[in-house]
A and B are shown apart, each in its own frame.
Chain A
Amino acid sequence: MIRKIGILIGLFFTIGALWSFFIGTKSYITDPPAPLVAQVFHKTPQHLSLPSDGPFGKFDNQQLQRGFQVYNEVCKACHALQHVAFRDLEQIGYNKAEVKAIAAEYQIPHYDPNTGEVTTEPGKPTDHFPPVAYAGTGHPPDLSLITKAREGGASYVHALLTGFQDPPAAMKQQFPDSVGLPGLYFNPYFASLNIAMPPPLTAEGQVTYADGTKATVNQMATDVSAFLVWTAEPTLEQRRQVGWPVLGFLLFLTVLSYLAYRNVWADKKKH
C-alpha cells in the first residue's frame, strides 16, 4: 500500500518538475532574456599580493600604519570603523602616547539618559571609532569588515579604489541608460557598475606618509587595503600561529593512533 501511494507521489513530483522544466526551457528558447549591463561589463579584480597572504603570511606593521594614515586622512570623512577600538591600534605598532593622540582627534558622541542630550567628547583609547554622520548620496558602509564582506576581499577593495575610469564606448552604445547617471561614477569592479562614491584617491601625494614612502595612488590603495584586512581580522596572525602547532600535534597523534589501530587488529587481520 505504501509502495503504491509512494509511486503516485513520486510521479506527481517528477511530472511537476518536468512540467516546470518544459515551460521554463520553452520560454528560454523562444524568448531568451537580454544580457544585463553588469553581466557584460563587470570586471573581476586582479589578485592583490599582500604580506598577510597565504598560510605563512604576516602583517607588515609599517604598511598597516600607512594604511591607517590613508583611512584617517581620506576615508574617515564618510566611512566609519566602529568595530575597531583606538587601543587596538597598539597591535599595529603605535605606542600608548600615539594612540592617545589619535583617539583625541576624534569626537565621540555620548548620550546622557537623564537629559536626553547627546554631547561629544574627545576620544579615549578605550573608545571605538565613532559613527560618521553622512548626508550625501548613497550609504557609505562601515569599513571594519569590508574585506571579509565582499567577494574578492582586499583585491576587490584595491581594484575598486583604482578602477574609476570612463565607461567603455561599447557600453554607451549597448546600454545608454547605464551611462552618465547623475551623482554616480562608473567603476567596472562595482556590482552595478555605478557607485555613489567619487574617486577618493585622485592624486599622488594626497597623503604625506609619515615614513616617507612615495604616496602613489596604487601605493595608497594597497596600503589601505592591507589595513582593512587587519581591521577585519586583527587575530589573523594569532590564528595561524596557533594553527600550525595544532595541525602538527594532530598529525603526530593521528600517526600514533594509526599504529595503535594496526597493533590492536594484528591478530584479526590476515596481513
Chain B
Amino acid sequence: MSFPWAKHYEPSHPLMKWMDEKLPLPRLVYNAIGGGYPVPRNLNYMWNFGVLAGFCLVLQIVTGVIMAMHYTPNTAEAFNSTEHIMRDVNWGWMLRYAHANGASAFFVVVYLHIFRGFYFGSYKAPREMIWLLGVVLFLLMMATAFMGYVLPWGQMSFWGAQVITNLFSAIPIIGEPIREWLVGGFSPDNAALNRFFSLHYLLPFVIAGVVILHIWALHIPGSSNPTGVEVKKESDTVPFHPYYTAKDGFGLGVFLLIYCLFVFFLPNALGHPDNYIPADRLATPAEITPEWYFWPFYAMLRSFTSDFFFIPAKLMGVMAMFTSILVWFFLPWLDTSPVRSGRYRPAFKKFFWVLVIDVVVLGYCGGMPAEQPYLMIAQIATAYYFLHFLVVLPLVGWMETPKPLPFSITEAVLGSDDEARLEATS
C-alpha cells in the first residue's frame, strides 16, 4: 500500500536516473521493501517468519539445483548417486544436509507464520487473497517436500510413496485408474521416480511465482499488526528500511544459528534411519512414517479406522486429511468476529491455544505406530480439529465479548494518541 506519507524514490546519481527511465527496478525495490514502504511500527517477532520462509525457499533452490547436477533419477542409481554426493562431491555432504534440514526449517518457519495468521486474524478482510495464496503455497510446499523425500529412493522414500499414491485409489470407481496413471505403473517404480524428480525441480519455481503474488497482494493493504487496528496516520508506521531490514537481519541471524546447529551437528536427528536402507519392494518396514512435518495430517489420515455408514474408512481418512487443509481456505468467512486480533478476543484466545495443543498432540501421534493408545488419542484430537475450525470459530465470533480496542497503533505503542484525545473530547 502506498500510504500518502510514503517517501518517494528520488535518484540523484546520473546512472540511477538512467536506470529509472529504462527499467525502474530500483524504484520497485524502494517502494516494496525500501524507505518508500511504510509498515506498522508495532510488529512483533511473529512477523519475522515471512521473510525467513522466503530465505528458506532460496536456500532450498540453490542447494537443490547444485545437487541435481550430481543426482541420477533412476531407481538403479538414485540411492548410489545420493551417497556419491555425500562422499565424493566437494562439499556434497553439506549440500545434502543443508537441503534435508532446510526442508524441516522451511516447515518450522511456515507453521509459525501460519499460526501467527490464525492468532492475529491476518486472514480477515481486506487480506483474504494473501491468505488464499498462502494456503496454495502450503499445498505446493507439501507436494514438493513429499516428492523430494522420494528421490533418494530409500526404504521410507519408496514406502511413503507407496502409501501416499495409494490414497488416490480411495476415490470411488475412478480412483484406481487415476492412481495407475499418476504413478506410471502398478506401484511406484522408475516412472514414478523420474516424474517426481521433474516435478520436484519445477514446483519450487511455481512456489516462487506464487510468493510474488502473495507479496504483491500483501502490499495492496499493507501489513496487519498485533493490535489488528488498521494504519491511520504517519505516526503509526515506520519505513521498511532500515527498521524492518534491521529486525529481519537479526531474526535471520538467530534462525541461521539454530539451522546450522542442525546441519553441522545434528544432521540426521529429524530423519528416519530406514531411509539409509536402499528401497526394497519385498521388505515392508516395521513402521512407515513420513517426515515430522506431515505427522499431524498422517495422524488424521489414520484416525478413521471404522467405516462410516456407506463410506469406507480409507476414503474417510483421505477426505479428512485433504479437508483439514481445505478448511483453511474458508477461514476468512468462517470466523465471524468483527475484531481482528486474538489479543482482544478472550474466548477465541483460549480456543486458539487448545488448537495449538491439539495439533502438537496430532503430530506426536502421527509419528508413533498405528496402535493403541495413540489411535484413541489421535481420534479425539481429529474430532476436535474439525470442531474447532468449522463449529467453534463461527460460534465464538458471534458469542464472545471482545476487549476494547486501542484507538490507533500510535496509542497502543506510545500509550496515548493526540487524535484519540481529540476524538474523545469532540
A residues engaging B (CB < 8 A)?
A: 2-3, 6-7, 9-11, 13-21, 23-25, 28, 33, 55, 83, 88, 141-142, 144-145, 148-151, 153, 191, 232-235, 238-240, 242-244, 246-247, 250-251, 253-254, 257-258, 260-261, 263-265, 268, 270
A253 vs B249: C-alpha distance when bound (angstroms): 10
Enumerate chain A residues within 8 angstroms of B391, measured Cβ to Cβ. 7, 10-11, 14
From B80, B277, B286, B306, contact of A20 by CB (8 A): B306
A232 vs B268: C-alpha distance when bound (angstroms): 12
From B252, B304, B330, B389, contact of A16 by CB (8 A): B304
From B247, B264, B327, B382, contact of A261 by CB (8 A): B247
Are A23 and B250 interface neighbours, CB within 8 A?
no
- Which of chain A's residues has its CB closest to B398's CB? A3
Are A141 and B238 interface neighbours, CB within 8 A?
no
- Which of chain A's residues has its CB closest to B282's CB? A139
Are A148 and B383 interface neighbours, CB within 8 A?
no
Are B334 and A2 interface neighbours, CB within 8 A?
yes
A29 vs B83: C-alpha distance when bound (angstroms): 48
- Which of chain B's residues has its CB closest to A152's CB? B273
Known contacts A2-B333, A242-B94: A264-B323 contact under CB 8 Å = no
Are A247 and B264 interface neighbours, CB within 8 A?
yes
Q: B86 within 8 Å of A by Cβ?
A: yes
For residue B342, give the distance in angstroms from its CB to the closest CB of chain A. Answer: 20
Q: B246 within 8 Å of A by Cβ?
A: yes
Enumerate chain A residues within 8 angstroms of B260, measured Cβ to Cβ. 243, 246-247, 250
Are B333 and A141 interface neighbours, CB within 8 A?
no
Enumerate chain A residues within 8 angstroms of B414, measured Cβ to Cβ. 270
From A6, A16, A265, contact of B246 by CB (8 A): A265
Encode contact with A along B226-265: 1 for CB under 8 Å, 0 otherwise. Answer: 0000000000001000110011011011101100110111
Give 9 CB contacts A-B under 8 Å: A2-B330, A3-B334, A14-B387, A15-B308, A28-B372, A33-B371, A145-B277, A244-B264, A270-B414
Known contacts A17-B383, A149-B273, A191-B286: A261-B376 contact under CB 8 Å = no
Are A254 and B257 interface neighbours, CB within 8 A?
yes
Interface residues of B in 270-290 (CB under 8 A from A): 273-274, 276-278, 286
A246 vs B257: C-alpha distance when bound (angstroms): 9
For residue A239, give the distance in angstroms from its CB to the closest CB of chain B. Answer: 6
A2-B333, A6-B327, A20-B308 known; 6 new pairs, CB 8 Å cut-off, are A13-B316, A17-B383, A17-B386, A83-B87, A88-B87, A268-B238
From A20, A233, A268, contact of B305 by CB (8 A): A20
* Dominant secondary structure at the A interface: helix
Residue from B242, B265, B319, B390 having most chain A Cβ neighbours under 10 A: B390
Q: How many A-B residue pairs have CB under 8 A?
A: 172
Interface residues of B in 355-403 (CB under 8 A from A): 371-372, 375-376, 379-380, 382-384, 386-387, 389-391, 394
For residue A73, give the distance in angstroms from its CB to the closest CB of chain B. Answer: 25
A238 vs B91: C-alpha distance when bound (angstroms): 10
Are A261 and B372 interface neighbours, CB within 8 A?
no
From A14, A25, A261, contact of B383 by CB (8 A): A14
A244 vs B334: C-alpha distance when bound (angstroms): 49
Are B265 and A243 interface neighbours, CB within 8 A?
yes
For residue A235, give the distance in angstroms from its CB to the closest CB of chain B. Answer: 4
For residue A200, give the distance in angstroms from its CB to the closest CB of chain B. Answer: 20
Encode contact with A along B275-315: 1 for CB under 8 Å, 0 otherwise. Answer: 01110000000100000000000000001111010010100
Enumerate chain A residues within 8 angstroms of B83, measured Cβ to Cβ. 83, 144-145
Enumerate chain A residues within 8 angstroms of B117, measured Cβ to Cβ. none
Known contacts A6-B390, A17-B382: A257-B246 contact under CB 8 Å = yes
For residue B214, give the distance in angstroms from its CB to the closest CB of chain A. Answer: 23
Q: B93 within 8 Å of A by Cβ?
A: yes
From A14, A25, A141, A260, contact of B277 by CB (8 A): A141
Residue from A9, A232, A233 having most chain B Cβ neighbours under 10 A: A9
Enumerate chain B residues within 8 angstroms of A23, measured Cβ to Cβ. 305-306
Enumerate chain B residues within 8 angstroms of A234, measured Cβ to Cβ. 87
Enumerate chain A residues within 8 angstroms of B256, measured Cβ to Cβ. 250, 254
Q: B267 within 8 Å of A by Cβ?
A: yes
A71 vs B417: C-alpha distance when bound (angstroms): 77
Enumerate chain A residues within 8 angstroms of B105, measured Cβ to Cβ. none
Enumerate chain A residues within 8 angstroms of B308, measured Cβ to Cβ. 15-16, 19-20
Enumerate chain B residues within 8 angstroms of A247, measured Cβ to Cβ. 257, 260-261, 264
A235 vs B94: C-alpha distance when bound (angstroms): 10
- Which of chain A's residues has its CB closest to B320's CB? A13
Are B273 and A151 interface neighbours, CB within 8 A?
yes
For residue B252, give the distance in angstroms from its CB to the closest CB of chain A. Answer: 8
Enumerate chain B residues within 8 angstroms of A33, measured Cβ to Cβ. 371-372
Are B261 and A25 interface neighbours, CB within 8 A?
no
Closest 7 CB pairs of A and B: A10-B390, A243-B264, A254-B253, A21-B379, A149-B276, A17-B383, A13-B386
- Which of chain B's residues has its CB closest to A32's CB? B372
Known contacts A13-B382, A16-B304, A17-B304: A260-B376 contact under CB 8 Å = no
A199 vs B201: C-alpha distance when bound (angstroms): 47
Q: B165 within 8 Å of A by Cβ?
A: no
For residue A35, give the distance in angstroms from its CB to the closest CB of chain B. Answer: 12
A145 vs B254: C-alpha distance when bound (angstroms): 33
A141 vs B155: C-alpha distance when bound (angstroms): 13
Q: B336 within 8 Å of A by Cβ?
A: yes
A153 vs B319: C-alpha distance when bound (angstroms): 38
For residue A189, give the distance in angstroms from its CB to the closest CB of chain B. Answer: 15
Q: B41 within 8 Å of A by Cβ?
A: yes
Interface residues of B in 317-352 (CB under 8 A from A): 319-320, 323, 327, 330, 333-334, 336
A67 vs B265: C-alpha distance when bound (angstroms): 24
A7 vs B397: C-alpha distance when bound (angstroms): 14
From B86, B242, B246, B380, contact of A21 by CB (8 A): B380
A258 vs B48: C-alpha distance when bound (angstroms): 14
Are A20 and B93 interface neighbours, CB within 8 A?
no
For residue B31, give the distance in angstroms from its CB to the closest CB of chain A. Answer: 20
